[in-house]
Amino acid sequence: MREQWNTKLGFLLAAIGSAVGLGNIWRFPYIAAQNGGGAFLLPYFFAIITAGIPILILEYTLGKTYKAGAPVTLARINKKFEWLGWFQVMVAFMISVYYFAIIVWVVSYIGFSATQAWGTDPTGFFVEYLGLTNSAIELGGIQTNLIIPFIIVWAVSAFILYRGVSKGIEMVCKICLPVLFILIAILVIRGITLPGAADGLEYMFAPNWAALAKPGVWVAAYGQIFFSLSIAFAIMISYSSYLPKETDVVNSAFITATANHGFEVFAGIGVFSIMGYMALMQGVPVEEIAKAGVGLAFMTFPAAISSLPALNGFFGVCFFGALLTAGITSLISIMQAVITGIEDKFNMPHKKAVTTVIVPAFIVSILFITGAGLNILDIVDAFINNIGIAGAGLLEVVLIGWFFDTEKLRQEANSFSNFSIGRWWVYSLKIITVVVLGVMVFLNTKDYLMNGYGGYAALDIAIFGWGTMFVVVVISAVLTSMKGKEGYIDLNKVSRKEVA
């Protein structure tokens, strides 16, 4: 019998824990800052309504109805769709291996915060700490100072995953989410009371309408929604597959999205307040502080922590502690999406499936604790998010929206819901989301083909950008071609009668 969540609250906390991750604290502030500050919020909320919530409802409904992870769920709809499920799973796998690296850095920085070990040059300290090389192909060897936190993060993650959905993931999320909220609340309260906080908040909320004319701003907004809500890379289909059939998926989707995006904006208030304070201390515009990009958490914020008038170590631990709790809940959800895919198709015992996934993930993730780790991470993250997740989302809404009876899914979603979704949901999936994601994938692919990415050498981009996407496609095809257990075939026939 398939494992289930202990309670609906447990599922919601796990789903929110997956959505509320590094994307909220680490990624959202610099994505917003790089795309017009306050102007970014308009396309961001438009993306939530037209893509985020509709796809979340879709994935909750698919998982709950077909009782399987993404590959088997899509195969039960149409055998030809199984490849897309494995593509989403492999995207999740690639995200998980570099997510580990970020959490490893966070673990170290919790310790560094106590004494502000980064000194007066946080950027130089971070570069030295990583042993950063000049290119992605110049590995520079494994950095020995990263080995212990690397093993700790792996051991904790494996322990949680081996315990399963109800005893491991649900329990951890019940502990981590309240802790995360308290830590972020402390940072927000401290941030808004600092001199210059108003300038940071003005940059966050004051709209620059000219930015809305730039397609890149809208592309970034949709990309952030997919990354933040954990949609289109197998997680939410996997999580919802452990739900009882009577679960209200519509209400659950709105609760998850509201909690996630509310937290994202709330955390952003704290981050931008501190950025405003830093800008005031350095006598530069807030925009200058925001340019740190991926290094915002590890280069800019340590400088801000050191310059606080009091309790520097405490607030440093709070900030990196928040990143750790958010990162762990997201990481285990990403890994579980891969584990569920393997477990379902091959009818594999849970612990064996966990081992099957974490061993290769462990080996691949070693790349990210070499001297080239940050460079590799930057390239892989860009391609996986802007082409991989966006492409997976596009294919999902095209295949389900145009080659399956979406109205039947709408009726299934409404069957146990406190309030019903109207036909706007179908139109959002079939038209608005398809058009926007189609444009997004086209523009991103064209840009990377013509201009490369981030100033990296063409060889770096070829190996870790396009090479990563090639590997994802090939392994997805191999897994699709492999024969599943007999139970997988029988269930396929049964499940087609449930909805289609």
- Tens digit of pLDDT for each residue in 214-235? 877 887 888 788 878 889 899 9
d(CA 51, CA 222) in angstroms, rounded, equals 8
Please state the rounded mean pLDDT for residues 351-367.
Answer: 96
Does residue 294 carry a pLDDT above 90?
Answer: no
Domain ranges of the chain: 8-499
Which pLDDT value is given to residue 465?
97
Within a 10 A sphere around the Cβ of 293, how many other Cβ atoms?
A: 15
For residues 223 and 386, the answer to whether their CB atoms sit within 8 Å is yes
Which pLDDT does position 492 carry in this prediction? 42
CATH architecture assignment, domain 8-499: Up-down Bundle (1.20)
The Cα–Cα gap between 344 and 398 comes to 24
CA distance 401 to 407: 9
Is residue 249's pLDDT more than 90? yes
23 confidence band (pLDDT: 50, 70, 90): low
Contact between 402 and 430 (Cβ < 8 Å): yes
Residue 440: the pLDDT is 84
* Rounded Cα distance, 88 and 476, in Å: 9
How far is the first Cα of the chain from the last one, in angstroms, to the nearest whole number? 23
Q: What angle do CA 146, 303, 224 make, to 5 degrees?
A: 75
Q: Please give the pLDDT value at position 292.
A: 66
pLDDT confidence band for 359 (50 / 70 / 90)? very high
Q: State the Cα torsion 391-392-394-397 to the nearest 10°.
A: 180
